[in-house]
Copies of this chain bind each other. A is one copy, B any other.
Amino acid sequence: MKILKYPDKEKWESILRRPVQDNSVLDISVREILSDVKEKGDDALRKYNLAFDGYKSSKLLVRAEEIMEAGKLVSPGLKEAIRIAMHNIESFHRSQAELPEKLETTEGVFCWRESRAIEKVGLYIPGGTAPLFSSVLMLAVPALIAGCEEIIICTPPGPDGKINPAILYSASVCGVTKIFKTGGAQAIAAMAYGTESVPAVNKIFGPGNQYVTRAKELVQLDGTAIDIPAGPSEVLLIADKSANPEFIAADLLSQAEHGSDSQVLLLSDSEKLIGDTTIAINNQLEKLPRKDIAGKALKNSMAILLNDINTCIQLSNLYAPEHLILAISNYKELAGSVKSAGSVFLGSYSCESAGDYASGTNHTLPTNGYARSYSGVSLDSYIKKISFQEISSEGLRNIGKYIEIMAEAEGLQAHKNAVSIRLKSMQDEAN
């Protein structure tokens, strides 16, 4: 971990610059996969299953028996944990629902919004070294609450065609049974364009490697919505001298183990805290099974010593981290000055892994600075809010002449006519 002391404010931007990826080479491969799946459908999916995942069978849909079998392979302890996590995720996301509230903006002019589910959603769940069944819960639970009519999952199979049992179990607990054995950019293409087996969806959700991420961005250009653009996972932790260096080290490492490209930042006004945390990191790192990955991530990470906690928050706002941990004594006072972050963890016991799994908040969050303009996944991500208006004849009498003036000034006579013809008809009736 690199340590920086009191860097000049004008250097902040260059210090915080994230690695920029040149997508030009990636784009060529991804575009080829996208057009291949668009053209050849299931056959293309099978070809890539063989080439990328070593899976030979032509079967793409997970069978009901496989899902039942998976249920037997998940331990009772894990099942209970999944149930508890699901309960908390459901409670929190249900609380995000809004009831329509009619507003009378002018007498006789009523405006409101009503939520409607996005009809068809596709969830991408990566396989590989960390089979993210927690992402199944994070993505499927709000889809269920929203009332999406079709929810499908794509996830890459192992060479034996198996999907991690916890993924299948989590999906079935959420009532999702259309699960397809396909991963990578090809899975994104299948959900965007549809194949013989995989139905096309309106919106695609879920984490993935750079191929998956880029494929999501490119299909968006063709009209399929996506949850959020994504980059490597990040944490920025602000700690004062009251913080526990062992806790902090554990939090930073839990981010670092995600991948060697994970971004980890520690900001503090206490040089001692930074020193103690560095020691704790080295001790804890040794015992980690993923210590190679975490070690690589730490090499690119930084601890920055600053004058005070307010300055730490300013720097954090500039960076706009995916996860922001405030391990400071007066977090209640300072939380209000956070301007950009995906999810904020307050105090000593709100560790990031709580939000990753079971507290109830969503773990699908904006990375790579996107927290400046995007929110994390929530119930909102699965609905549209349609605006409605109901204007009475009196209402139109009240605002009609203003519409006429404005339409005329924009040179849109037919817009004006739509009002004039109604006002005239009312007048004719009155006479």
Contacts and interface: CB of A to CB of B under 8 A. Distances in A.
A241 to B, nearest CB: 17
A260 interface: no
How many copies of this chain sit in the oligomeric assembly? 2
B253 A389 contact: no
Contact of A403 (B288, B340, B353, B414): B353
B106 A88 contact: yes
A418 B327 CA distance: 13
A411 interface: yes
Interface residues of A, number: 127
Interface stretch (A33-41, A153-161, A359-367): A359-367
A342 B406 contact: no
A415 to B, nearest CB: 4
A414 B250 contact: yes
A51 interface: no
Contact of A388 (B203, B335, B383, B405): B335
A267 interface: no
A340 B384 contact: yes
A251 B202 contact: no
A368 B372 CA distance: 28
Given A105-B92, A116-B338, A412-B130, A343 B77 contact: no
A390 B250 contact: no
Given A346-B388, A353-B418, 19 more contacts: A84-B399, A98-B98, A116-B339, A116-B340, A119-B340, A132-B410, A166-B410, A217-B221, A223-B229, A225-B370, A254-B415, A254-B418, A338-B386, A340-B386, A343-B387, A347-B391, A349-B396, A353-B412, A356-B403
14 contacts: A88-B399, A103-B360, A111-B361, A133-B409, A202-B372, A220-B229, A223-B229, A223-B369, A247-B422, A288-B413, A346-B390, A349-B395, A353-B407, A354-B419
